[in-house]
């Protein structure tokens, strides 16, 4: 069997297993809904709730509010995490603060605690929601960029200094392209996580957004509507990654060979 035929058979076998797992999950859902209909709605009820949400202007307006909050939170958390993460490279005395204090603190602090503290400090406001989201996803940018800054080789920077003494040119044309894969990795993770934690933030402190709709559904004991909202969130994450995050990531430099990377840096600096 040729390598191509073997790969084709392996792919179709994996696809078959995935389809069988999906069918098994649907059957298990159906059987569970028959035995516990009061707490576990049937597939038909959930599908109707999904369609009702799709045709609801109120739902889409709240989705837009949540999406805007997520976009702003991801951008701000990425900017803050990037600035703080690269500080030890330019101010060595901050290394202990960033690596030994900030990274462990933000990485281990419970996200639900930020949600509670946000409502206590700022009340039930959109500012509280934004701050909670930023604080929860900040560690992803901070940790990734901090590690990326450590990975920047001294050889490339020294080569840049031989072509230009302008610190900004060296950063923008050498160091930032080397950091960008780490920044993009944090954006990808933060985007998916932020859809999840936005529900927590909005449940605790918002009068609008998808989390607010979830709270209303809980108050009315609409279990099918809660599951439908969760399914829509899964769809939003997948679509956002496919049509927003992936296109942006195509502009991020991939792992080039060292010689090609050095030639690219020389070309950039020579034009500067």
Regarding whether 151 and 30 lie in a shared domain, the answer is no
Per-residue pLDDT tens over the stretch 92-143: 888 888 888 888 888 888 878 887 888 788 777 777 888 888 988 898 888 8
Report the CATH number at residue 115: 1.10.3720.10
Whether 31 and 47 map to the same domain: the answer is: no
Across 82-93, b (16+ Cβ under 10 Å) vs e yields bebbbbbbeeee
pLDDT cut 90: percent of the chain above it? 12
Domain around 232:
41-271
Q: Band the pLDDT of 256: cuts 50, 70, 90.
A: very low
Q: pLDDT class for 3, splitting at 50, 70, 90?
A: low
193 & 123 share domain: yes
| 239 and 128 both lie in a single domain | yes
Same domain? 16 vs 77: no
Is 160:138 a contact under the CB 8 Å cutoff?
A: no
**Best CA proximity match to 131, nearest among 201, 216, 181, 185:** 201
Please give the pLDDT value at position 267.
43
Together in a domain, 83 and 218: yes
- 98 lies in the same domain as 211: yes
Same domain, 48 and 156: yes
Confidence tier at 232 by pLDDT (50, 70, 90):
very high
pLDDT above 70 covers a percentage of the chain that reads 80
Do 70 and 129 sit in the same domain of this protein? yes
72 and 17 together in one domain: no
pLDDT for position 31: 79
40-54, 78-92, 162-176 — which is least confidently predicted? Answer: 162-176
Domain shared by 16 and 85, yes or no? no
Residues 131 and 223 reside in one and the same domain:
yes
Domain count, the chain: 2
Per-residue pLDDT, 268: 42
């Amino acid at each position: 069997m040729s390598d191509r035929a073997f790969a084709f058979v392996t792919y179709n076998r994996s696809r078959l297993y995935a389809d069988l797992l999906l069918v098994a999950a649907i059957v298990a859902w159906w059987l569970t809904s028959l035995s516990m209909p009061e707490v576990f709605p049937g597939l038909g009820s959930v599908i109707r709730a999904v369609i009702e949400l799709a045709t609801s202007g109120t739902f889409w307006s709240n989705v837009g509010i949540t999406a805007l909050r997520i976009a702003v939170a991801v951008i701000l958390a990425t900017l803050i995490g990037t600035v703080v993460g690269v500080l030890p490279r330019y101010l060595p005395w901050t290394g202990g603060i960033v690596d030994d204090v900030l990274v462990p603190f933000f990485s281990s602090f419970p996200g639900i605690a930020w949600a509670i503290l946000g409502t206590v400090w700022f009340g039930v406001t959109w500012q509280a929601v934004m701050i909670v989201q930023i604080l929860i996803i900040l560690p992803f940018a901070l940790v990734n960029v901090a590690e990326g800054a450590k990975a920047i080789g001294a050889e490339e920077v020294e080569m840049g200094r031989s072509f230009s003494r302008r610190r900004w040119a060296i950063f923008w044309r050498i160091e930032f392209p080397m950091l960008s894969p780490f920044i993009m990795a944090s954006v990808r993770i933060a985007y998916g996580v932020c859809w999840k934690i936005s529900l927590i933030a909005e449940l605790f402190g918002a009068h609008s957004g998808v989390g607010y709709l979830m709270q209303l559904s809980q108050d009315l004991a609409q279990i099918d509507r809660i599951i439908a909202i969760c399914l829509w969130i899964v769809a939003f994450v997948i679509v956002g990654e496919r049509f927003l995050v992936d296109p942006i990531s195509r502009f991020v430099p991939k792992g080039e060979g060292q010689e090609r990377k050095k030639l690219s840096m020389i070309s950039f600096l020579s034009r500067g």
